[in-house]
Amino acid sequence: MRTIVFATNNRHKLQELRRIAGDSWNILSLEDIGCDDDIPETADTLEGNAIIKARWVKDKYGYDCFADDTGLMVDALGGAPGVYSARYAGPGHDSAANMALLLKNLEGETNRSARFRTVIALAQGSDIRLFEGVVEGEITTVPAGCGGFGYDPVFKPLESSVTFAEMDADAKNAVSHRGRATAALMKYLLNQ
């Protein structure tokens, strides 16, 4: 089995990714390679942040690596929270606070259209390659479900009658931004 690092310690994401990769790739986390660096995510685009993280691991630890960056873009908020989705309610705030602020900012708003977009940067040797996945949907008026993470309880994909947090992992992976970006990445890796 070939080995590659996924530049994350988010166990939800690792679980999702390992599920999609099956037994074709051994996917290591940052913790698995002994990296507890505070990798700067200072770019103002998803592409920029994904590239910074993937190159950091490749350059410092020598492993081929991929890194993702995701944003939730809400039309009525001019594309916010976008690249700042993780810290929408401010530094040190959690998903519950981010969701509460999002619902507050959309109070009384009828246009609830939104999309998740994931960009994955793959660093192999001196090569960098980008993959992306998008899922269109809408922000619900109240949270529903307790699966997944982040904004899952308030995001309902267009092709579904329930939120991401009400789906099981396979159902979410089949339509999600990260599922689609990962499918593109895995297609590329499996053809090598």
Q: Could you confirm whether 69 is annotated as catalytic?
A: yes
DSSP-derived secondary structure letter, 176: S
Q: Which of 32, 44, 69, 94 is catalytic?
A: 69
CA distance 81 to 139: 13
Q: Between residues 17 and 62, which has the closer beta carbon with respect to ligand IMP?
A: 17
The answer to whether residue 151 forms part of the interface with ligand IMP (CB under 6 A) is yes
Q: By CB under 6 A, what part of segment 58-117 binds ligand IMP?
A: 68-70, 72, 85-86, 95, 98
Tally the residues of the chain. 192
Q: Using an 8 Å Cβ cutoff, are 53 and 39 in contact?
A: yes
Q: Between residues 131 and 164, which has the closer beta carbon with respect to ligand IMP?
A: 164
Q: Using an 8 Å Cβ cutoff, are 163 and 156 in contact?
A: yes
Name which position in 57, 58, 115, 150 contacts ligand IMP (CB under 6 A). 150
Considering only CA atoms, which of 57, 104, 96, 54 is closest in space to residue 76?
Answer: 104
Q: Between residues 85 and 189, which has the closer beta carbon with respect to ligand IMP?
A: 85
Q: By CB under 6 A, what part of segment 5-64 binds ligand IMP?
A: none
Q: How far is the CB of 24 from ligand IMP (least distance, A)?
A: 22
* Sign of the dihedral through C-alpha 60, 129, 182, 82: positive
* Sign of the dihedral through C-alpha 137, 143, 145, 149: positive
Active site residue ranges: 69
Query: Which residues would be at the binding site for ligand IMP (CB under 6 A)?
Result: 68-70, 72, 85-86, 95, 98, 148-152, 164, 176, 178
